[in-house]
Amino acid sequence: MANYTEAVNEHYGRENLGDRIFAALEAAGLDLDNLEIDDLAPIEQFHIGGRDATIRMAEYAGVQPGTRVLDVGCGRGDLAARLLERTVPIAGFVGIDAMPEMVEAAAKRDLPGCRFIAGDAIANPDLLGTGKPDYTCISGTLNTMDDRTAQKLVADAFAAASGGIVFNFLSSRPHARFAGRTVAPARRRDPVLWLDFALGLSSRVAFTQAYLDGHDATILIQHDQQ
């Protein structure tokens, strides 16, 4: 993919996104100084799987106390918010997003123990080591990439994380009710091919698409124990 940042901005971008989000919340009569996580649910999930996919991501990663988490394609910081809501005592959280507007909106939420960085992890893979992550999460970010670019990002992120990586994607084998339904400019991926790719990185692989009627799939890859 020649310019991932450009593709992401085309798919998700909105001018002055942060200001628009907070203006919409105010217009809805919400107190910006006393927001609850459920107040943000309708607008915080920018990937197609929505909130269910984000919750599944947090649960499937099995984040333990003291874990350092890196979120690639963090958006508004919804994964960080979910971990904090569930009072998971993580040691640190770093979110990276190619869209400065997303990072600005995430930073404005002032989530404790979390920091957010604008950057393109494909053009600059060194970003994947930021914060020395135990686990890296990639939710929704792969949807606009070709397979070669997506697999390189996953492999680079896996190599940079001491524990492993958990990521999701749109499955090409969902329930029949999704047949013929377009997801463009996103794309669906063959879960069998991606499982084979994951098993090429480690023998410790877990897979599920037993949620959202198979619309979305999640893979967890952990480093082999020595």
More confident of the two residues 29 and 124: 124
Per-residue model confidence as pLDDT tens digits over 182-200:
888 889 999 999 999 999 9
Distance CA 2, CA 145 (A): 10
Distance CA 146, CA 187 (A): 8
Picking from 59, 63, 60, the residue whose alpha carbon sits closest to that of residue 93 is 63
Per-residue model confidence as pLDDT tens digits over 10-66:
544 445 545 555 565 566 665 656 655 454 444 444 444 555 566 666 666 667 778
Count the residues in the chain.
226
- pTM attached to this predicted model: 0.78
Distance CA 152, CA 155 (A): 5
Residue 143 pLDDT > 70: yes
Q: What domains are there in the chain, each with its CATH number?
A: 4-222 (3.40.50.150)
By the 8 A CB rule, do 144 and 11 touch? yes
